[in-house]
Amino acid sequence: MGTPLVVTLGDPAGIGPEITVKAWAHFRHDPTHTFALLGPYLFFKNLLREAGLPKPIAIAHPEEAHDVFASGLPIIQMAETDTIKLGQPSAANASLITGSIERAVKHTMSGEACALVTNPIAKSVLYESGFKYPGHTEFLGKLTESIKSPYARGPLMMLTNDQLRVALVTVHQSIEDAARSVSIEKIIAHARILHGALRHDLGIDKPRIALAALNPHAGEDGAMGDTEIKIINPAAEKLRLEGIDISDAMPPDTMFHAEARARYDAALCMYHDQGLIPVKTIDFHNTVNVTMGLPIVRTSPDHGTAFDIAGQNKARPDSLIAAIKMARRIADNRNA
């Protein structure tokens, strides 16, 4: 059966609670994917009752989840609150959201849980309460900074499904800021993390990485920009000298069709939408966000909180289900 996973609360006013309940219903008779949720017990008791499902079962430690998983959703209880209103984000829930993440990280770093799966958060809600990190990824990097990663240190974000994997050199920046911040050093550092993750986490012995250009037509020999000539290709050359199989800058408009994807194991893209548009277009509902280069395994769904449909039984749990499966796969690969 293996060590259970832990799942965080996410923003409880969003669809996180609903998709967690649906994911538990999907996995409840599959001990391979046993997980425990960190959240307020009474809130989920009411949620499960409204869904016509068995009441949750309070546990103290993740390992207890195996004994009860088929009977009820295992919950490691957090403080009860009356501030949760589905579809209505509130900074009053911020300490509950971040507290769930912090406790889940502790359980994972201690070995009580094999991996961490995070439900969606709304960064604007957390910013109102003084949250100082751009998002989940950076927060997790800070919480785990005292422990060494099994390969080059991240965090680095990768979006993955069965047909495409993309990692990002820059993440939550404007196009202007992203273009200015692309550097030889940043590309090299992120390519090393991606290479290590493909080997250690996904079991790809000799990873092949496709490097996306920043400019149209890969700069057209400098006619449309010289970032490829001055930064991207020199970085690729240095990486190849280290033994990493990576391409020179490739035009992004021709590197994501099926025939092109067959020639590499992951793409390293220069900015957020360059990578996320193709991977989510190919398979939106089954794409998973993986944080690479951490001492713990962390995955999450590829979507947001969807406050507009919270509490309406419309949310699909596919991406969370895929994230749980991916977390187990990575944990097993690291153990092996």
Among 34-48, 53-67, 216-230, the range scoring the smallest mean pLDDT is: 216-230
Q: Does domain 1-147+296-336 have CATH number 3.40.718.10?
A: yes
Q: Domain residues of the chain, as ranges?
A: 1-147+296-336, 148-294
> For 279-296, what is the HEC assignment?
HHHHCHHHCEEEEECCCC
Computed over every residue of the chain, the mean pLDDT equals 95
Among 7-21, 75-89, 309-323, the range scoring the smallest mean pLDDT is: 75-89
Same topology between domain 1-147+296-336 and domain 148-294: yes
User: Where do the H-state alpha helices sit in 51-158?
Assistant: 65-68, 94-109, 123-128, 136-143
Does 81 have pLDDT greater than 90? no
Does 287 have pLDDT greater than 70? yes
Distance CA 50, CA 38 (A): 20
The domain defined by 148-294 folds into Isopropylmalate Dehydrogenase (3.40.718)
Does 1 have pLDDT greater than 80? no
Give 200-237 pLDDT, tens digit per residue.
999 999 999 999 999 999 888 888 889 999 999 999 99
Q: What is the pLDDT of residue 82?
A: 85
Q: What is the pLDDT of residue 142?
A: 93
Burial class (CB in 10 A: 0-12, 13-18, 19+), 316: middle
Q: What is the reported pTM?
A: 0.94
289 close to 10: Cβ distance less than 8 angstroms: no
Confidence of residue 323 (pLDDT cuts 50, 70, 90): very high
Higher local confidence (pLDDT), 173 or 193: 193
Q: What is the pLDDT of residue 164?
A: 98
Does 156 have pLDDT greater than 80? yes
